[in-house]
Structure 1
Amino acid sequence: MKKLLYLLICITTPVAFTSCKKSFLEVVPLGNQVASTTSDYDKLMNSPGFYDSRFAGGWQEVALMEDDLAAEDGLFSTVSQHMVRLFQWQDVIYFPNDPYQRQPLLLGSIVTNMYSLNKIINEVMNSSEGTDAQKRSIRAEARATRAWGNFQLINLYAKPYQAATAGTDLGFPIITQADITATVFKRGTVQEMYDFIIKDLTEALPDLPVVPVIRTRMSKAAVEGMLGKIYLFMGRYNDALPLLNAAFNDLGTGGAQLYDYNQTMAPGGAFLPISNNYGPTKGPGNSYIDMTESILFKVFYNAGFNGNFYGNNGLVLTPQTAALYGASDLRLLLYTNKNPDGSLNAGGRLRKYGVMYSRYGLELSELYLLRAECKARLNDLSGAVEDVQTLRAHRMPVVDATVPATVAGDQVALIKFIIEERIREFAMEGYRWFDMRRLSVDPLFTGITFTHTLYNKDGSTVSYTLRQPDRLVLQLPYNFMQYNAGMPNNP
């Protein structure tokens, strides 16, 4: 595990894939050297590794597997074979003979962060100088951050949650110690991991601030929203709704606010001008420090290949996804029908050029859609319509934001409309992967399938279909398995 942690630290630094010096293995981790006062532990919670993947990482890999996108041959396949494997939902993504020993970036960063988080959780209460309340607050932030990471891992390396099988489905190892010499890790079950995540969030909640020091760190609203989202994903709607309501109540003055695209995209608006290369140049998608809509700010690079492991070169919206947008939907201004070289896309397909940096913590727009879906599933149709229309009125002219009457009065149709609104809001940014997984086991979406299309230059196409349920789960990479002998892998 020590070798694994060393490997993961190497591959998740800003200079990804350069070699680490062998002597690094013998260096005492930073936390062991300096963390003694409460202030020291507080500063550890400001680590950019907990929120900043603007060079490589975050949901770059996840975004390649969602089904709202397609790819243009020539622009896509020449960038990275790992991109191709993820796009095709191949069984094996990372091979043991890779000369660069590349590993999944999100897995690497979360496991690396787990060391620091466990150190804070296990030691901060014995630190000097701080008050008991300060120590408890820091510990709560670390526990909530650990829970956020574990929720990502369980949605990549374990089956979607189903109450009937979660007690036997293989989970992901629960890591609670800051010990790089540990060698025995057990996968446990999906239920055990979800119970652990819920315990971390629930026990952290009383000690968290209503107003965070900065929105890269945890707050009551962030944890209430996360916990509500997790319950929603588990199908526990009655448990989810009170928490989602509480998250809105705890946003407070100066908290996250929705941009109104009717203003920011209007002539003279704050997001203009619109660049031929980058879309709305002053929009949050082109600024990695804009936290306006973030309840919990986490950001990752989501633009073209720039010396990193992944990029979105050649990725376009599927025609089916593009058809979900109304003509007046201002989110369409984040897309262009031009290729990176300025030429028109021959098939009229759209690429997302107005979001260089995607947020993947907890955005206010997602909180509205989570609560809308939860209300719809509990048959509060008017409440669900109100929430989804609040978001839509900030993304298009108010007259077009109304949910169609035929949808608003039909529970199943409304739920599906809200799921589609999640696509309209977050297409090509990774969110859809999590929805694909949970919808695959949702009785309302029985028979759902997922496909990718590669558009060749000669006009022909190649289609790939995700093999369910196996490829809704990633295999654990070779090096992870190598240092955990006897641990079962995913098929």
Structure 2
Amino acid sequence: MKKYTIFLIFIIALTLSSCKKDFLNIIPQGKQVASTTEDYRKLLNNKRFYVYDYSGGWQGQVLMGDDVAAEGGLYNSATPVTQKAFSWVDDIFQSGEIDWTQQLWLENLYTLNKIINEAPESVGGTEQQKAVVIAEAQATRAWLYFQFVNFFGKSYQKASAETDLAFPIITTADVTIRSYSRATVQQVYDFIETDFKQAITVLPITSESAVHFNRAAAKGLLGKVYLFTGRYTEALQMFNESFSDNSSSAVPARLYDYNKEFATGGKFDPVTTSGPSNSPGINYLDFTESLVAKSFYNSSYNGNGYGNDCIVLSSKTRMLFDPADLRLKFYAAQFPYQQQNPSGRLSKIGVSYSKFGLQISELYLLRAECKARLNDLNGAITDLQILRDSRLPSSVANIPSAVAASQSSMLSFIFDEREREFAAEGYRWFDMRREASDPLFPAKTYIHTVYNEDGVQASYTLKSERLTMRLPYYLIVSNPEMPNNP
């Protein structure tokens, strides 16, 4: 990891020396420069580049959502970056601290650009094989930039998207380029849309596994892009086509029925002190619910990067669950490593890996939201009910009649359902950004609470500016003319 960290400091700083450029022109002993179509396909499979295993890339977003609180004893001994992310400081990574999550993602971007630019000239593959490799790289790059624009750009507002600054658009695999400028939010979203649309024309209905993009995944994520940018009619079309393409796949993503799997003899039975047995959060290769699987390590760990040992459900989020909700079986009143938490506050257990590419559960929630925004409230209820029937006993699964009373109450319920489905997995921070800029939602104050062992609580209130992250330190240092976010 150390050598990749050092290498990626240069990628972020974009200040490699000329001798480094010479180094890139030499084939290292025992290594092979990509030349065949198969070589480029293998780059997409290479875990070394973290294209599919993001190894903590979303842990910062887990810490920044208001669905979590912190236990003081563990929080006070957590890493500085953990404490800074949780307390929503302006600069989580400062001089001398390595923004290792963004470095991993920039390494991914370098690899994806290399594939997109060089695979057309590769040898040993048919034109169709080349096209599929390129299309998968384009879809992955689009997904990556969707994260970047939601980290470093303001939540999409049509009136200001053409002037709000986001992240530089980088399309070359050239670490010697020394200067970049920030693209606008609109430019980044246009870039994402183009990549997804080009990829969709080529991607297969059935991919070789769920870690690879197929057509349904790309359409579903393009629909998410349209939803985030207020293009609801286009979003609904993409979501409908995504469901249709998924159904046509040889291995379609499907919802687990928790009523069945938590029952005696079910796949998640028994539920031990370590959590549900053999659940997707434990079994890294369980892609049952994944249209495309992007994963990060989300178990209790407080090592060199972000750590979440201190995290518990916030009281606000805990109150959203019906006591019979089977999703609560993924939580327990215990500290990491199965030590009982006398406060009764719940930690997420049995989830070593969280998936955040596109899950079938989110596709239902995204389409429900889209229908609600188009005032098809009955259609929204239909999608919500399918998800809830798989997560709660039938006696409590039905959606309250008051939810359908108005568009705003329906949207609030959908966002609450997203919180129940994905609590402590990083999704909430993205929803907070959208809530805060949406006139259909009441104004909210986002608070983080630290529960100290002496009973004294500390709290942090999120400033509106920090719904947009500041750019990494090394990028600003190497591009002093580039303005940072306030």
TM range (shorter): over 0.9
User: Contact conserved, 2:56 with 2:298, CA < 8 A, in 1?
Assistant: no
- Equivalent residue letter for 1:120: I
Partner of 1:72 in structure 2? 71
Residue deviations 1:221-273, cap 9 Å, x none?
Answer: 01000000111111211110000000000012421111111111112211122
TM-score (norm 2): 0.92
Report the secondary structure of 1:286's partner residue: coil
Report the secondary structure of 2:163's partner residue: coil
User: Contact conserved, 1:147 with 1:200, CA < 8 A, in 2?
Assistant: yes
| Structure 1 position 50 matched with structure 2 position 51 | yes
- How far the C-alpha of 1:411 sits from its partner, in A, is 2.0
| Structure 1 position 428 matched with structure 2 position 424 | yes
* Distance of aligned partners of 1:181 and 1:333 in 2 relative to their CA distance in 1, 3 Å threshold: same
Residue deviations 1:263-285, cap 9 Å, x none?
Answer: 11112211122221x21131111
2:191 corresponds to which of 193, 196, 200: 196
Residue deviations 1:109-151, cap 9 Å, x none?
Answer: 2211111111111121122222212111111111111111111
1:335 corresponds to which of 314, 331, 339: 331
Report the secondary structure of 2:434's partner residue: helix
- How far the C-alpha of 1:34 sits from its partner, in A, is 2.7
Partner of 2:266 in structure 1? 269
* Distance of aligned partners of 1:165 and 1:30 in 2 relative to their CA distance in 1, 3 Å threshold: farther
* Distance of aligned partners of 1:10 and 1:399 in 2 relative to their CA distance in 1, 3 Å threshold: farther
Give, in whole Å, the separation in 2 of the partners of 1:466 and 1:315. Answer: 17
* Distance of aligned partners of 1:457 and 1:358 in 2 relative to their CA distance in 1, 3 Å threshold: same
User: Contact conserved, 2:267 with 2:277, CA < 8 A, in 1?
Assistant: no
* Distance of aligned partners of 1:359 and 1:28 in 2 relative to their CA distance in 1, 3 Å threshold: farther
- Equivalent residue letter for 1:174: I
User: Contact conserved, 1:8 with 1:103, CA < 8 A, in 2?
Assistant: no
| Structure 1 position 324 matched with structure 2 position 320 | yes
Report the secondary structure of 1:74's partner residue: helix
* Distance of aligned partners of 1:41 and 1:164 in 2 relative to their CA distance in 1, 3 Å threshold: same
2:152 corresponds to which of 132, 153, 157: 157
* Distance of aligned partners of 1:309 and 1:6 in 2 relative to their CA distance in 1, 3 Å threshold: closer
| Structure 1 position 408 matched with structure 2 position 404 | yes
Give, in whole Å, the separation in 2 of the partners of 1:461 and 1:327. Answer: 26
Residue deviations 1:282-302, cap 9 Å, x none?
Answer: 111112221111000111111
Partner of 1:309 in structure 2? 305
Mean CA deviation greater in 107-116 or 161-170: 107-116
Give, in whole Å, the separation in 1 of the partners of 2:187 and 2:26. Answer: 29
* Distance of aligned partners of 1:86 and 1:275 in 2 relative to their CA distance in 1, 3 Å threshold: same
Partner of 1:84 in structure 2? 83
- How far the C-alpha of 1:94 sits from its partner, in A, is 1.2
Mean CA deviation greater in 459-468 or 478-487: 478-487
Report the secondary structure of 2:45's partner residue: coil
1:469-488 pair list within 5 angstroms: 470-488=465-483
Residue deviations 1:31-70, cap 9 Å, x none?
Answer: 99432222221221212211113xx422011110000110
| Structure 1 position 351 matched with structure 2 position 347 | yes
Mean CA deviation greater in 299-308 or 67-76: 299-308
Give, in whole Å, the separation in 2 of the partners of 1:476 and 1:64. Answer: 18
Mean CA deviation greater in 82-91 or 36-45: 36-45
Report the secondary structure of 1:45's partner residue: helix
Q: List 4+ stretches of structure 1 deviating above 6 A.
A: 9-12, 22-25, 29-32
Partner of 2:16 in structure 1? none
Give, in whole Å, the separation in 2 of the partners of 1:340 and 1:210. Answer: 41
User: Contact conserved, 2:321 with 2:420, CA < 8 A, in 1?
Assistant: yes
Give, in whole Å, the separation in 2 of the partners of 1:212 and 1:28. Answer: 34
Residue deviations 1:297-341, cap 9 Å, x none?
Answer: 111111111534122112111111111111111000011112336
- How far the C-alpha of 1:76 sits from its partner, in A, is 1.8
* Distance of aligned partners of 1:326 and 1:185 in 2 relative to their CA distance in 1, 3 Å threshold: same
User: Contact conserved, 2:433 with 2:467, CA < 8 A, in 1?
Assistant: yes
Partner of 2:251 in structure 1? 254
* Distance of aligned partners of 1:29 and 1:328 in 2 relative to their CA distance in 1, 3 Å threshold: farther
- Equivalent residue letter for 2:149: I
* Distance of aligned partners of 1:262 and 1:490 in 2 relative to their CA distance in 1, 3 Å threshold: same
Report the secondary structure of 1:110's partner residue: helix
Partner of 1:19 in structure 2? none
Give, in whole Å, the separation in 2 of the partners of 1:119 and 1:236. Answer: 32
How many residues align? The count is 472
TM-score (norm 1): 0.92
Report the secondary structure of 1:328's partner residue: coil
Report the secondary structure of 1:50's partner residue: coil
- How far the C-alpha of 1:11 sits from its partner, in A, is 11
Partner of 2:136 in structure 1? 141
Q: List gaps (5 residues or longer) in structure 2.
A: 13-18
Report the secondary structure of 1:388's partner residue: helix
2:233 corresponds to which of 238, 249, 255: 238
What do you get for the CA RMSD once the two structures are aligned? 2.3
How much identity, in percent, do the aligned residues show?
Answer: 49
Report the secondary structure of 1:64's partner residue: helix
* Distance of aligned partners of 1:121 and 1:76 in 2 relative to their CA distance in 1, 3 Å threshold: same
1:275-314 pair list within 5 angstroms: 275-276=272-273, 278-305=274-301, 307-314=303-310
- How far the C-alpha of 1:208 sits from its partner, in A, is 0.7
| Structure 1 position 440 matched with structure 2 position 436 | yes
1:461-472 pair list within 5 angstroms: 461-468=457-464, 470-472=465-467
Give, in whole Å, the separation in 1 of the partners of 2:457 and 2:153. Answer: 32
Mean CA deviation greater in 40-49 or 197-206: 40-49
Report the secondary structure of 1:358's partner residue: strand
Give, in whole Å, the separation in 2 of the partners of 1:340 and 1:430. Answer: 19
- How far the C-alpha of 1:29 sits from its partner, in A, is 8.4
Partner of 1:17 in structure 2? none
Partner of 2:40 in structure 1? 41
Report the secondary structure of 1:370's partner residue: helix
Residue deviations 1:384-421, cap 9 Å, x none?
Answer: 11111101111111232111111134322111101100
